[in-house]
Amino acid sequence: MKKRSMARCGRGLVIGLVLLAVTACSWLSPAATPTTSFYSLDSARAAPLAVRAPATAPTLTVNPPRAAAGFDSSRIIYVRERHQLEYFAHSEWVDPPARMLGPLLVAAIERTGAFRAVVLAPSAAGGDLRLDTEIIDLQQEFTSLRSRVRFTLRAYLVDDKTRRVLAGRQFDAAIPAASDDPYGGVVAANRAVKKVLASLAAFCAETARGVRAEN
């Protein structure tokens, strides 16, 4: 009986040591880190040039877009309550949205054919007009039954020689997301950017034609 009891105790001790070793390994091993997904704004690049600008058309310098506080990083923002910005943990933009927006602005405005040249500053070429923009909002809103992405952009067209503001406008688009997750928000964000840039390009073209008519 004593030998049997000692054998049981021995087996129990071995099992306990094994469990202790396994637990220690789990404590010492680093936890698996979720992979971060990176997304871009790029849907506004596709369409070809619409028409060629006349020789008398002005040139346009596009200043690098700015972003309001909170929207100037690569983090993807969502909102569940007004005035409270939150960030997705493992989803980011490949670059801050303001930096990605610059080439998209140039491409969208070029397609109007209203400018002899559209260049992104800094550039050696001087422009007749200058475009200043600022991202006011770019966020996925979970404030209703279905999430949506809001993109708001403020823009000013300036006479680059006199520094006079020729026109200013705020553009806004709210696009429903196909899914309530970061990817659904990114797809909706690209659609919202494309919609806003189409309106902004038309605004710039209209202002440029007005400048030409005055001259």
Sign of the torsion angle spanned by Cα atoms 111, 112, 116, 121: negative
Mean pLDDT of 172-197: 97
DSSP assignments along 35-50, one per residue: PPEEE---GGG-SPP-
Residue 19 has pLDDT above 50, yes or no: no
Mean pLDDT of 28-47: 74
Give residue 27's pLDDT: 44
N-terminal to C-terminal alpha carbon distance within the chain: 113
Give residue 211's pLDDT: 77
Superfamily of domain 37-214, CATH level 4: ABC-type transport auxiliary lipoprotein component (3.40.50.10610)
Q: Say how far apart CA 104 and CA 189 lie, in whole Å.
A: 13
User: Global pTM?
Assistant: 0.81
Give residue 20's pLDDT: 45
Give residue 2's pLDDT: 47
What is the amino acid identity at position 27? W
Q: Which two tokens stand for residue 164?
A: 């006079």
Give residue 63's pLDDT: 96
Mean pLDDT of 61-65: 96
Digit-coded pLDDT (tens) for 127-154:
899 999 999 999 999 998 899 999 999 9
Digit-coded pLDDT (tens) for 82-97:
899 999 999 999 999 9
Residue 32 has pLDDT above 70, yes or no: no
For the chain, give the percent of residues with pLDDT over 90: 67
Mean pLDDT of 172-182: 97
Residue 208 has pLDDT above 80, yes or no: yes
Confidence of residue 61 (pLDDT cuts 50, 70, 90): very high
Mean pLDDT of 30-34: 67
Which CA distances in Å does 140 have to 145, 152, 183? 13, 12, 11
Give residue 24's pLDDT: 42
